[in-house]
Structure 1
């Protein structure tokens, strides 16, 4: 009887993942065809692979050079954020954990602000500084936190580093010029506008390799559900596991945050929702979070691009405006139970 129930639950999880994959494909096509320049769905195959008349050259350029790299990059970024959130929630055994908890996001923000205010070397200078800042703050949080037993030290170190970087960002904002403040503000709100085929060409294989590695840790993450002592009894080294997972999350999120800026709530809300739907088995939770995060960011970007045509909202505002109230509703729902 137990075996039959377990089989049905696993089958349900596989079906959910399959449905998410189909929704991702449909959403990619729908988002790519919608915007300031409308592209009829029936014309997309010809625009992708065929010669088109002069009257459709603009649509082809918009689809191939702007829309497709943007929606695909949104898929990659959202998937990485949600997968990292699921890993962090397992590591801290807390559904409120997310990648920014260990300084990844705040470190990236500090690196970006330093370049914007002190050097202003353009987009790639900002991206490289943000990546370096995310790795440095994550390393510092781990270096301090590993001197304490469990994950409490890492959590407290992350809180302290986030507070320090927030203060430094405030100080740099105070001395920034009006133009620098504008750049700083737009970067912090998050955007997929920097997406291009060259950016995607680097980020896609990077994200896929690290995501596959993270998903392969599902047995260790399931063991973490039982407690740290049980992890050791089951043959996993807790210290090595913690180090591997933190490095993986930092390498996964650092480059993305460097390019997109601040995008909140995807790494927090999506794994929480997936856990409510399919349970805590990380064999299915991690792939579901990966697909669900990509789907969520595609939809958020779709709204950001189309709600106030011909302008667009920063995508970080959309994820916060939707994710914040939704997560609050989830918390209230849990309290009532």
Structure 2
């Protein structure tokens, strides 16, 4: 898969231009399609019917899709730089599987003892807590007196992911049919529960990470040379790894808590950007954030419209797009060995 390199400034500019176009397209299409004049009247409040659909249903969902996609891709780029592996994914540190178990527990508890209005925010909070606990366990297992081993962290992440998978399967086994369906739908990844509060929260987090994580571009570039070389360049390796792991866990845990298990965005987008624009994290991080937002907005639009009025889980669309790309990457790696 040989791809011609492009100027990173041009790539960022192109993505920045395509993202608003995708946002407008996502607002326009659906079970009720709108032309651009109708869309403008709805956004300005001139048409009550169109305004209700856009402001209450589509706009929160589109904004949430862009924010979740940006966070997942941004954290994926950080993980690939931290592990020095272009096939790395945020789920390697166990945050996704931990969030899945937390959400499953909350769904079972809510189905048994709590009304649905309380169960929905409880699921999001439990998913975030589960992801954070899994990440802390992985980090604790990988940390010793000599520092934090990336290789041990990877193995610990695999172990915690397997343990979380077993716990999730156990919960699914004892759940009734209705609860089992809720767990399954959540694990497929969906933005159907988008609301203004979730959209604003994830947008604020995406903005925070989008501003803060590029500050680590120089340390991440140095880590590409190896930890010893990074130390010789004056990088506080242990502190940088600890901070990046916490920030990535915060981002991915929040994304999974609000949108469920949306696969492959954190893997595919940073890798594509790296192939197009190179490994320099000064450009890789912002381009990945824009690319992730663009990809998830388009994927969610497809999920809403491809077999309308039936709505597919967004995670299915991203998996259908990402899995073939991942197989191609594996084949490329195999041919180079």
Bucket of the pairwise TM-score, normalised by the shorter protein = over 0.9
Count matched residues. 325
- Equivalent residue number for residue 297 of structure 1: 296
- Deviation for aligned residue 1:124: 0.5
Q: Does residue 1:252 correspond to 2:234, yes or no? A: no
Q: Equivalences for 1:187-336 in 2 at 5 Å?
A: 187-336=186-335
Q: Equivalences for 1:124-135 in 2 at 5 Å?
A: 124-135=121-132
Q: Does residue 1:37 correspond to 2:32, yes or no? A: yes
- Equivalent residue number for residue 115 of structure 2: none
Deviations 1:43-66 (A, max 9, x none): 2222211423xxxx3222111111
Partners of 2:272 and 2:225 in 1: CA distance: 21
TM-score scaled by structure 2? Answer: 0.93
Partners of 2:184 and 2:8 in 1: CA distance: 40
Give me the CA root mean square deviation: 1.6
Query: Are the equivalent residues in 2 in contact too, given 1:37–1:59 (CA < 8 A)?
Result: no
Q: Does residue 1:27 correspond to 2:22, yes or no? A: yes
- Deviation for aligned residue 1:36: 0.3
Partners of 1:49 and 1:117 in 2: CA distance: 42
Consecutive unaligned residues of structure 1, counting only runs of 5 or more, are 1-8
Partners of 2:121 and 2:69 in 1: CA distance: 21
Please point out which of 27, 38, 61 is paired with 1:70. Answer: 61
Query: Are the equivalent residues in 2 in contact too, given 1:69–1:195 (CA < 8 A)?
Result: yes
- Equivalent residue number for residue 90 of structure 1: 81
- Equivalent residue number for residue 46 of structure 1: 41
Partners of 2:327 and 2:32 in 1: CA distance: 36
Query: Are the equivalent residues in 1 in contact too, given 2:148–2:238 (CA < 8 A)?
Result: no
Q: Does residue 1:161 correspond to 2:143, yes or no? A: no
TM-score scaled by structure 1? Answer: 0.93
- Deviation for aligned residue 1:211: 2.5
Please point out which of 140, 143, 167 is paired with 1:143. Answer: 140
Q: What is the DSSP-based 3-state SS (H/G/I as helix, E as strand, rest coil) of the residue aligned with 1:86?
A: helix
Partners of 1:118 and 1:44 in 2: CA distance: 41
Q: Does residue 1:106 correspond to 2:97, yes or no? A: yes
- Deviation for aligned residue 1:335: 4.0
Q: Equivalences for 1:116-131 in 2 at 5 Å?
A: 116-120=107-111, 121-131=118-128
Query: Are the equivalent residues in 1 in contact too, given 2:8–2:277 (CA < 8 A)?
Result: yes
Cα pair distance change 1:42/1:136, threshold 3 Å:
same
Q: Equivalences for 1:9-28 in 2 at 5 Å?
A: 12-28=7-23
Query: Are the equivalent residues in 2 in contact too, given 1:88–1:97 (CA < 8 A)?
Result: yes
Partners of 1:71 and 1:216 in 2: CA distance: 28
Deviations 1:201-258 (A, max 9, x none): 2221122112311111000000011100011111111111110000000111111101
Partners of 1:156 and 1:94 in 2: CA distance: 14
Q: Which moved more, 1:272-281 or 1:94-103?
A: 94-103
Q: List, as ranges, runs of 4+ consecutive aligned residues in structure 1 with deviation greater than 6 Å.
A: none
